[in-house]
């Protein structure tokens, strides 16, 4: 990478002194440093540290595909508008690249100097080809001949064979091949087959060799009779942004499919290459791919660490976190125990707040959909489906309901990034079953997590709904911390009904009694609530837990509240563009980030609660980011049920007391690990609280999915 900054470039993550905000892209990158902190933490189980290294690698891949690609487009287009911290796109791209290069070097060190030796001590070896003995090499040679050689396709470059297309995030070997009889040479590319295990297991234990090293060792068998020169292992990352224009509104699905085809050929924004590679093949690749030296990242370990999921998946319970089995929410234990009990009879009596993964997703949200699909009294089911898994019980329930003649309407957000093709598949399966499918709204992503069940009860119709913070995905419900409210309150049911009529029909946004939605409404309501606390001065209180904060209107409202003396606690997992602790601006604002075994994903907003003033609580799907408040359809609801409020207060209290999994944000933009004094770990505290609620501390638990 080049070390020459553009004129006026800033250094590191430090915003200019004139700026009241941090740059969104740099704040996003900072979260990755916290992941690397966990990789380095010797107190964590070893394979969990491997997991955090993989997550770091995957997040960096996405960052290049979206954020770096976006900045490069701005620079190429000559855009000079400034980021929140005052940087031009060119300056910001320089700072981003400097941070990325530093992180990649740290990633490399942690993999090679920390994790690899620690794995070896546990009998798990990431072997190098040059270190293998004759028996291992013979075994791999046989494997190459049987499994790999028939699959790979070498492609050479000559006047009749142009430089081949290199697919996004694919792993490749580049090599110069020379004829033994003619004084000619050609560049050849061999793609590492993605359908062969990237880490090849060796006999006799938990030893693995990267597939690319084995293929490199036997390249001469792909080019018989030729002289094979220096091989280089490389990987490319492409711009992955989709650009749907207004004309796509006539057929959003067709336009999206065309964009997905176009995405394959978007520009390359990063070249990763084995650090042992000489300059000649690097120059050849950068020229062919249209890259500069700043776009090249050398790495001494495997390129793309997703291959390490094979290591993480080893059956070594001694090297993993203690398993956590989600519990049936106490309100729904009768549904499992009593044959005649139903989710709907429980919700007739009370609202139920569920907190995943501590509360079982399958025994709450999935159970409601399963019952609704089978119940002859259910007339209709409506749902916003943003992301789900390949074996989704939710989609299966919706299909069964449609096949049984119930009215099923599903808004499938086909533009959910990197899930577009999967969502198109689910949408078509639902349509074939007879469901009404809406493919999102043009110009907006529907990110709301809402479900409505319409049930005939005698002469009346009763509405049951779920509003949550997380996707309807049973797999992420075990890994992401999220909240949801299941309710049959008529006011909320009426609001959710109007909400679905709005997003599936063609009308102006309706007026709601409880539901707050975006675009527009959530920002206005949050700013209004913040300003109300500002009027109370030091007697005001604000606590907000979200995944990201970059909306200037919300940040400025928080600054006003801080200047009025309001104590403000922000729990922001990822992006935070607010600058805390600045005298005269934000000195009463404290920002922390919590990162642990479960990805903190819920959104909780609490206003008031001191000096005899009642507290107001909200949960919802939206982060306090401009994209959520302006370019997404989101839903947020107040929570007033006393038991649910108690749960929310408990969650916030555990978060604010955490001194094990927490980092704090300083006014200069740096994040610091909060020293462990009392040993309060949020997620361990929430597990214990869930066990106590179920009165199961001393009893074996029944496994739940």
Contact (Cβ atoms closer than 8 angstroms) between residue 385 and residue 472: yes
385 and 486 part of one domain: yes
The H helix count followed by the E strand count for the chain is 21, 27
Alpha carbon distance 189, 296 (integer Å): 18
Q: How confident is the model at residue 445 (pLDDT cuts 50, 70, 90)?
A: confident
* Euclidean distance between CA atoms 415 and 256, whole angstroms: 7
Claim to verify: residue 498 and residue 566 sit in the same structural domain: no
Q: What is the mean pLDDT of residues 481-497?
A: 96
Given a cut of 50, is residue 483 above it in pLDDT?
Answer: yes
What pLDDT is stored for residue 463 in this prediction? Answer: 97
Closest among 331, 365, 357, 574 to 451, alpha carbons compared: 365
Give a yes or no: residue 383 inside a domain.
Answer: yes
Domain assignment present for residue 10? The answer is: no
pLDDT at 12: 36
Are 105 and 141 part of one and the same domain? no
Average pLDDT of the residues of the chain? 89
- Whether residue 132 sits in one domain with residue 112: no
Is 16 within the bounds of a domain? no
> Is 422 a residue whose pLDDT tops 90?
no
Binning pLDDT at 50, 70 and 90, where does residue 262 land? low
Task: Name the residue range of residue 50's domain.
Answer: 24-118
Query: Is the pTM here over 0.75, yes or no?
Result: yes
Task: Please tell me which residue, 127 or 256, carries the higher pLDDT value.
Answer: 127
Q: 453 and 370, same structural domain?
A: yes
Residue range 559-583: mean pLDDT, rounded: 97
Do 99 and 153 belong together in one domain? no
Closest CA to 652 of 544, 576, 558: 544
Total number of domains constituting the chain: 4
Domain shared by 134 and 214, yes or no = yes
- Annotated catalytic, 447? yes
Q: CA 285, CA 273: separation in Å to the nearest integer?
A: 10
Give the integer Cα–Cα distance in Å for 82 and 71: 11
- Please report the pLDDT score of residue 165 as a whole number: 83
**What tokens does 224 get?**
């018989």
Q: Active-site residue among 320, 355, 356, 447?
A: 447
**Are residue 638 and residue 675 in the same domain, yes or no?**
yes
Q: Please indicate whether residue 255 or residue 423 has the higher confidence score (pLDDT).
A: 423
pLDDT 10s digits, 531-553: 999 999 999 999 999 999 999 99
699 in a structural domain: no
Domain boundary among 63, 88, 118: 118
Note whether 200 and 296 are same-domain residues: yes
Binned at pLDDT 50, 70 and 90, residue 413 comes out as confident
Residue 9 belongs to some domain of the structure: no
pLDDT exceeds 50 at position 491: yes
Give the CATH number for residue 109: 1.20.58.310
Q: Is the pLDDT of residue 190 over 70?
A: yes
pLDDT of 249:
42
Do 162 and 201 lie in a common domain? yes
- Please indicate, yes or no, whether residues 111 and 143 belong to a single structural domain of this protein: no
CATH number at residue 683: 3.30.870.10
- Choosing from 504, 539, 566, the residue where a domain stops is 504
- pLDDT for 546 equals 98
369 lies in the same domain as 480: yes
| Banded pLDDT at 705 (limits 50, 70, 90) | very low
Lowest-pLDDT choice from 24-33, 155-164, 299-308, 572-581: 155-164
DSSP 322: P
Mean pLDDT on 244-266? 51
pLDDT beyond 80 at 700? no
pLDDT tens figures, 5-33: 665 444 334 434 458 999 999 999 999 99
Q: Answer whether residue 246 shows pLDDT above 50.
A: no
Alpha-carbon separation of residue 630 from 445, 518, 602 (angstroms):
10, 7, 20
| Averaged pLDDT, 258-273 | 72
- Beta-ladder partners of 299: 274
pLDDT of residue 81: 87
Pick 333 or 652 by higher pLDDT: 652
Q: Which of 88-97, 174-183, 206-215, 219-228 has the lowest mean pLDDT?
A: 174-183
| pLDDT at residue 225 is higher than 90 | no
Does residue 360 carry a pLDDT above 90? yes
* pLDDT band, very low/low/confident/very high, at 514 (cuts 50, 70, 90): very high
């Amino acid at each position: 990478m080049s070390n020459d900054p553009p004129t006026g470039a800033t250094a590191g993550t430090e915003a200019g002194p004139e700026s009241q905000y941090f740059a969104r892209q740099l704040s996003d990158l900072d979260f990755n440093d916290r992941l690397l902190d966990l990789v380095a933490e010797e107190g964590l189980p070893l394979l969990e540290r491997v997991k955090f290294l993989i997550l770091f690698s995957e997040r960096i891949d996405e960052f290049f595909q979206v954020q770096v690609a976006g900045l490069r487009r701005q620079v190429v287009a000559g855009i000079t508008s400034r980021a929140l911290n005052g940087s031009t796109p060119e300056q910001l791209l320089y700072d981003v690249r400097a941070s990325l290069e530093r992180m990649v070097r740290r990633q490399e060190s942690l993999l090679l100097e920390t994790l690899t030796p620690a794995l070896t001590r546990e009998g798990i070896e990431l072997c190098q080809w040059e270190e293998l003995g004759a028996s291992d090499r013979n075994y791999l040679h046989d494997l190459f001949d049987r499994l790999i050689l028939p699959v790979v396709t070498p492609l050479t470059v000559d006047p009749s064979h142009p430089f081949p297309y290199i697919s996004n995030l694919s792993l490749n070997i580049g090599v110069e091949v020379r004829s033994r009889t003619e004084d000619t040479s050609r560049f050849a590319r061999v793609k590492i087959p993605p359908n062969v295990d990237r880490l090849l297991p060796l006999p006799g234990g938990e030893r693995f060799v990267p597939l690319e090293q084995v293929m490199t060792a036997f390249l001469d068998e792909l080019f018989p009779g030729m002289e094979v020169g220096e091989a280089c292992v490389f990987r490319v990352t492409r711009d992955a942004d989709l650009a749907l224009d207004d004309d796509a509104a006539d057929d959003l699905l067709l336009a999206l499919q065309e964009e997905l085809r176009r995405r394959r050929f978007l520009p390359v924004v990063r070249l990763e290459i084995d650090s042992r590679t000489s300059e000649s093949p690097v120059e050849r690749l950068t020229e062919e791919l249209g890259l500069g030296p700043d776009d090249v990242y050398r790495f001494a370990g495997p390129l793309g660490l997703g291959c390490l999921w094979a290591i993480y998946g080893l059956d070594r319970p001694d090297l993993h976190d203690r398993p956590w089995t989600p519990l049936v929410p106490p309100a729904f234990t009768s549904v499992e125990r009593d044959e005649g009990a139903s989710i709907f009879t429980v919700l007739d009596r009370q609202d139920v707040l569920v907190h995943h993964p501590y509360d079982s997703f399958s025994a709450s949200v999935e159970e409601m959909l399963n019952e609704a699909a089978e119940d002859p009294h259910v007339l209709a089911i409506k749902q916003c489906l943003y992301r789900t898994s390949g074996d989704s019980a939710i989609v299966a329930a919706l299909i069964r309901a449609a096949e049984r003649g119930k009215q099923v309407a599903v808004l499938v957000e086909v533009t959910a990034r990197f899930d577009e093709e999967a969502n198109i598949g689910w949408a078509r399966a639902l349509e074939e079953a007879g469901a009404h499918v809406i493919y999102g709204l043009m110009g907006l992503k529907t990110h709301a997590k809402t479900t409505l069940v319409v049930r005939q009860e005698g002469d009346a119709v009763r509405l049951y709904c779920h509003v949550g913070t997380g996707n309807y995905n049973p797999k992420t419900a075990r890994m992401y911390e999220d909240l949801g409210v299941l309710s049959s309150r008529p006011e909320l049911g009426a609001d959710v009904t109007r909400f679905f009529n709005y997003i599936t029909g063609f009308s102006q946004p309706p007026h709601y009694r409880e539901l707050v939605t975006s675009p527009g409404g959530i920002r206005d309501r949050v700013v209004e609530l913040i300003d109300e606390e500002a009027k109370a001065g030091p007697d005001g209180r604000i606590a907000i837990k979200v995944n990201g904060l970059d909306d200037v209107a919300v940040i400025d409202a928080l600054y006003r509240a801080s200047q009025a003396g309001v104590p403000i606690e922000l729990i922001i997992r990822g992006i935070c563009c607010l600058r805390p602790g600045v005298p005269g601006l934000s000195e009463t604002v404290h920002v922390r980030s919590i990162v642990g075994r479960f990805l903190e994903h819920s959104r909780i907003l609490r206003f008031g609660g001191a000096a005899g003033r009642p507290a107001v609580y909200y949960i919802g799907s939206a982060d306090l980011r401009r994209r959520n408040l302006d370019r997404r359809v989101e839903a947020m609801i107040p929570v007033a049920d006393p038991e649910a409020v108690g749960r929310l207060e408990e969650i916030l209290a555990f978060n604010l007391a955490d001194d094990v999994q927490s980092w704090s944000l300083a006014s200069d933009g740096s994040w610091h690990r909060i020293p462990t004094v009392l040993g309060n770990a949020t997620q361990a505290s929430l597990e214990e609280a869930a066990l106590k609620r179920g009165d199961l501390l001393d009893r074996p638990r029944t496994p739940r999915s």
